[in-house]
Amino acid sequence: MRKHSEAETFRITGARQGLTEDVRGRQRRYVISMAVRSVAVVLTAVLWNIERPVAIATLVLGIGLPYIAVVIANAGRENAPSLPSTFIKPVRPMLTSGAPESVPERPAAKASETSGDGG
């Protein structure tokens, strides 16, 4: 039987995001990226004869964004190295060797007081 003091304690802040929430978030980011790409392609077609440098910039965005969106969507689950540890282990006081540094030294006693002659 386990003692109560040795029980492991879980921190809720150390828990990872659920798998369904993670997939939903990646799908949302991908759909937003593809919507931005669609707008970029439409702007390329509209601005081609009006403002050629802006149309070329939107064309580059429309070509490069799908690759970036797929890489981000397939990146996998997040790592949480900066979060605290999942387990809280009881902290035991550390024993130090030798005399503690903060204890003041006493003045040395005179030989006549410690010799036991009485006087």
Averaged pLDDT, 62-72: 88
Rounded to the nearest integer, the mean pLDDT of the chain is 74
Q: Give residue 26's pLDDT.
A: 87
Q: CB neighbours (10 Å) of residue 18?
A: 9
What is the pTM assigned to this prediction? 0.51
Question: In the predicted model, is pLDDT for residue 63 greater than 60?
Answer: yes
Q: Give residue 23's pLDDT.
A: 84
Averaged pLDDT, 38-67: 92
Q: Give residue 22's pLDDT.
A: 82
Digit-coded pLDDT (tens) for 74-104:
776 666 555 555 555 666 777 777 665 665 5
Task: Calculate helix-pair angle for 19-47, 52-73, nearest 10 degrees.
Answer: 160
Q: What is the DSSP letter of 13?
A: G
The Cα 66–Cα 74 span in angstroms is 12
